[in-house]
Amino acid sequence: MQQVVDLQGDERFATAGIELVSLSRDPLTSWRSEAERYGVRGTLYSDPGNEVAEAFGVMRWAMPSGEPGHTFVLVDARGLIRWVRDYGAPENGGLMYVDPADITGQALDALSG
């Protein structure tokens, strides 16, 4: 949850015009409760069966804790996928947390290129 909180608090991200939509395999009641606890804004989706994650081919790599790494999918205004980064993947560092400035920079590069 901290990743979402910090990304929302990143000034460059906040002014980039990118809407953050969060997807978790946690039940909606737990997901909503955590979002309220941390002040997360935006749209929250629950994907307990991982159908959406599987359709995008993401969240396949678990951290040592068993939690999936964070995955970001950038969809433009026309509905086209412009960038996908599954930070849990070994080739992307197997990370659970990524500096918001890195995410914002990569997303903005994808939108401009």
More confident residue, 36 or 85: 36
For residue 101, pLDDT over 90 is answered with yes
Phi, psi of 16 (to 5 degrees): -80, -10
pLDDT given at position 59: 63
For residue 17, pLDDT over 90 is answered with no
More confident residue, 59 or 21: 21
Flag whether the pTM goes above 0.85. no
More confident residue, 25 or 67: 25
What residues have CB less than 8 Å from 97, skipping those under 6 apart? 2, 3, 70
Confidence of residue 113 (pLDDT cuts 50, 70, 90): confident
For residue 58, pLDDT over 80 is answered with no
Query: Contact, 36 vs 29, CB < 8 A?
Result: no
Query: Contact, 75 vs 82, CB < 8 A?
Result: yes
Confidence of residue 62 (pLDDT cuts 50, 70, 90): low
Torsion (CA) 44, 50, 54, 59 in degrees, nearest 10: 70
Query: Contact, 59 vs 69, CB < 8 A?
Result: yes
Q: Where are the domains of the chain?
A: 2-108
More confident residue, 72 or 68: 72
Q: Report the CATH architecture of 2-108.
A: 3-Layer(aba) Sandwich (3.40)
Query: Contact, 81 vs 58, CB < 8 A?
Result: no
Instruction: State both tokens at 19.
Output: 């809407």
